[in-house]
Structure 1
């Protein structure tokens, strides 16, 4: 038990050390790696000196348990769920808009709008969907796309909850649009109805609308009653650095965000640029020495070497051991490792010797068993002669013309006749041995 506890303790320390090492590669020294259960990788940070600029400030609300990270400051009240430096996305909570009625068709609560106004990072045009829920619902989505206004919407109608299909947002109980423009920094969504839900009130008293990450919502008929008490949904933002292109940003290396062993590419949603670790490196491209070399040789899946793999900064090389030639690669441009001619000769000689030994062993075994069988036959003949076998044969030849004949039985025939010399067949014992009663193949009795 003590050994198991020590092993568990050692494993826990290893996990903590590994997590600390991973965190140290994504944050600046002496900066908080998390806020609550959310990792905060650089260029984001929770205090001055730990983030790249004000665009990347995460306000960590320690009055909550666990602490909650908020985007920029608490006045926006946009809770951060996840920050990714690999695909440059932020996941935040955004609010649901609703419009509810009583049985008589009167609004029993002030309608609310689904809205958000982001001064820095745009909403993702690829991972989000505008969704409306209801059986007497018309939803309108308005946004500001740069200097241009943007409007879209959808219609959702149904007469009975039985006509609703779970998982479907085709306009019966649920409608949806993925037509989200690039560069969308702010939006508001409103919902309305044709009959104030009077015809569907028993199972759908409200209309709902929200912008949410596509994978975060799967429509169910239970949503028609009260949206299952959800007031927020995860929504994706695309983030980038500044408002310059890579070419413009590289002119000032002091403020240029991409560090060692990384490359720059322009944002495809809104202004700014992004950084990624170069091929053969992994880590945080926004930190000095944040992109660490990948040891491809440590993982067979990461290299194409057949024999010898040599890791190099950002890559690896393949080679063949002594006695082989080739480039050591198994990909389409590789010819692997082929033994030299002298190596092939040695291999052929070794194979020949092995085959010869096997043949010698088989021949020796065959001769051994043949000689042993021949020796056994001679021994049987010797015993036959010693026990009067020749005299018996002469007597038998002399009685060939008589009506009665004497037959010499083989050992196998006697064993079969006596049921392998079963003790139940014994009829007597004397000075010359034991006497057995046997039954011959033709049914006659015989005494041995």
Structure 2
């Protein structure tokens, strides 16, 4: 015991020595003009972590010096560090170039690439904006995901637009973990008379854009937020983070570190971020950089303390926290620590016990704070929805950390905008999927709450099951049942060639998904719209049964509601055109998305493909055109042609066609779809199928003609599997 105490004392002494040696050189400039430059950024040799973080203070401007990221040649407007109590992310706000053309036609540009850098374009802070008449602008990321929107002209009268909502301006979200993209601008109505004026497409910080719009004139630069983190390698990360990287998790009560994001272009290299814990503030990237906050000096936190009384209660600061009492000062472990280090011996033992107790207290306070936020938001959601969240298990972080081998990169099953999913094994031997969400503030926690509430209402064999969650850390964790055989997308598009889907399996999977959607729309305690049905969100279990997943954007409605009016969200190729035009999502919008999945099962084609002709990049368009031209059997998957009966194929094709009607009222309900698919699988009724599914008239012009040019036209993509986008064309 004595030997262990001596070793610990030596370690404490070594830390203090290192902290003193690593203090920032007093000769380093801490500001450039009005912008603060915190470490790991810096001005001058020895003041920054590596060349990516080097800042040059440009004094050529007579008005004010301008800081510039030397490696990227971008002007810096602000650099933020994040502490536990703050909701903002670690961002660098920069002036980023806009893209424009001032003639009719199309043009593209390759934007600045951030591959292998510590930066990505922030999915939470930025939006993609298109401005100008009849402007269709898209951005394509390095992994093929596409985001875009269309801004239409108002040729009737001059409008005083105060919102970017589709007339002369539109905006949409961007792909997650984005570090490189190309921008394309196209004229929508090429057959119309030439419309003068320039067209613009650019990334911009959303809060600034909302406050500044409409502009008196466009600039060649816009404010853009870059998230930043330190590459997780022992050669580049600061010493506080090196300790975290070597041990899997930091154990220091003053600060914490975590994997903040994984760049899209380099999925094998994460970026690490650190922050000062609750009760501390400062720079977590420096040893000793997180300083204790004296809560008692700043305010009177004990004035409304439940146990200590009201005004006049005594407040005493402790290391990382404070104590309230009515009988004078309480024992301060912070002061005791200093006394113990000086006196040594028995006093050191008291300090170690006190330090351990303080750390546990801080960790407990943080967990209680997180749980209180969770419970408050959950209560708000439950006031209008029926849910059984009491059956949702609360997991211990240590158990999930152990189950995933400290969230080892080799355990990653997939990743998206909300976080990364890891494979894990619980202590009872169960295999689970653990979703590690990005660091979230209270606003983003609502999305997490929404998924918990939605899944707690669902009890269906073809919907992925939520087992529980963990609320002990700032990074929220969701635990799902593990679905071992990947996504439907991987099988339909030939990514898993050793196990081709038979025709009977395709029919069964389609029927199971239709049954699950019928349950969501009609049989759940409250109707639920999934809002992102696609083949990548359909998982296959050990028996290749379908499991519908990803309810992050789903919504529950009251029985008397017919639609939701929301910002348009979805995946290109699956997005209901009627929803795109009106921003009103109905149960028939899920039906349209399911129709695209049926077309995928029949053809083996992707929902959006660059290998097809321009006018047929959309599978929905390609499928309908082929049926109208009597070429259905020319586009079918070879496995379908080999095993499927002609009358069954025609029946399913006609059903997919009905689901893809642009007029939502003409589409069948999911109940009707599920019933018809069940009939296809009934051998005794097979001879009647041809009569049950007669060819229906389909107005081909509807596939291209927008129903309301003045409607809101915002779109977003959430899948890395999506390829270049098919724009709307005039009929």
Residue 285 of structure 1 corresponds to which residue in structure 2?
284
1:266 aligns with 2:292: no
Give how far 1:214 is off.
0.5
Deviations 1:296-322 (A, max 9, x none): 111345443542111111111122227
CA–CA distance in structure 2, aligned partners of residues 221 and 52 of structure 1: 37
CA–CA distance in structure 2, aligned partners of residues 269 and 281 of structure 1: 27
Q: Secondary structure, in 3 states, of the residue corresponding to 1:175? A: strand
Structure with the bigger percentage of helix: 2
Residue 310 of structure 1 corresponds to which residue in structure 2?
316
CA–CA distance in structure 2, aligned partners of residues 163 and 35 of structure 1: 44
1:79 aligns with 2:75: yes
Matches within 5 A, 1:14-413: 28-65=25-62, 66-73=64-71, 76-86=72-82, 87-101=89-103, 113=109, 115-119=111-115, 120=117, 121-144=119-142, 148-160=143-155, 162=157, 164=159, 166-178=161-173, 180-194=174-188, 199=193, 201=195, 204-218=196-210, 228-243=217-232, 249-250=242-243, 261-268=254-261, 270=263, 271-303=270-302, 304=305, 305-306=308-309, 307-321=313-327
CA–CA distance in structure 2, aligned partners of residues 311 and 320 of structure 1: 15
Deviates more, 1:27-36 or 1:283-292: 27-36
Residue 339 of structure 1 corresponds to which residue in structure 2?
none
Q: Secondary structure, in 3 states, of the residue corresponding to 2:163? A: coil
Q: Secondary structure, in 3 states, of the residue corresponding to 1:55? A: helix
CA–CA distance in structure 1, aligned partners of residues 156 and 163 of structure 2: 13
Give how far 1:51 is off.
1.1
Structure with the bigger percentage of strand: 1
Contact 1:259 / 1:287 at 8 angstroms: preserved in 2? no
The TM-score normalised by the length of structure 2 is 0.35
Contact 1:99 / 1:192 at 8 angstroms: preserved in 2? no
Deviations 1:11-39 (A, max 9, x none): xxxxxxxxxxxxxxx96532101122211
Q: Secondary structure, in 3 states, of the residue corresponding to 1:129? A: strand
CA–CA distance in structure 1, aligned partners of residues 135 and 191 of structure 2: 8
Contact 1:98 / 1:112 at 8 angstroms: preserved in 2? no
Contact 2:208 / 2:223 at 8 angstroms: preserved in 1? yes
CA–CA distance in structure 2, aligned partners of residues 294 and 241 of structure 1: 26
CA–CA distance in structure 1, aligned partners of residues 121 and 54 of structure 2: 18
Structure 2, unpaired ranges of 5+: 1-22, 83-88, 264-269, 329-364, 369-731
Give how far 1:259 is off.
8.1
The TM-score normalised by the length of structure 1 is 0.55
CA–CA distance in structure 1, aligned partners of residues 80 and 191 of structure 2: 42
Give how far 1:41 is off.
0.6
Call closer, same or farther: CA 1:220–1:237 in 2, change over 3 Å.
Answer: closer
Deviations 1:366-405 (A, max 9, x none): xxxxxxxxxxxxxxxxxxxxxxxxxxxxxxxxxxxxxxxx
CA–CA distance in structure 2, aligned partners of residues 196 and 172 of structure 1: 18
CA–CA distance in structure 1, aligned partners of residues 163 and 129 of structure 2: 11
Work out which structure has the larger RCO, using CA pairs closer than 8 Å and 6 or more positions apart in sequence: 2
Call closer, same or farther: CA 1:237–1:47 in 2, change over 3 Å.
Answer: same
CA–CA distance in structure 2, aligned partners of residues 93 and 140 of structure 1: 21
Q: Over the residues paired in the alignment, what is the CA RMSD in angstroms?
A: 3.7
Give how far 1:208 is off.
0.6
Give how far 1:194 is off.
3.9
Residue 441 of structure 1 corresponds to which residue in structure 2?
none
CA–CA distance in structure 2, aligned partners of residues 48 and 205 of structure 1: 47
Contact 1:266 / 1:272 at 8 angstroms: preserved in 2? yes
Q: Secondary structure, in 3 states, of the residue corresponding to 2:185? A: strand
Larger radius of gyration: 1
Deviations 1:72-124 (A, max 9, x none): 33xx33111100012311101111111113xxx6x8xx967472212310000
Q: How many residues align?
A: 282
Contact 2:254 / 2:276 at 8 angstroms: preserved in 1? yes
Structure 1, unpaired ranges of 5+: 1-25, 323-330, 334-448
Q: Secondary structure, in 3 states, of the residue corresponding to 1:93? A: strand
CA–CA distance in structure 1, aligned partners of residues 218 and 111 of structure 2: 18
Give how far 1:188 is off.
2.4
Call closer, same or farther: CA 1:134–1:260 in 2, change over 3 Å.
Answer: same
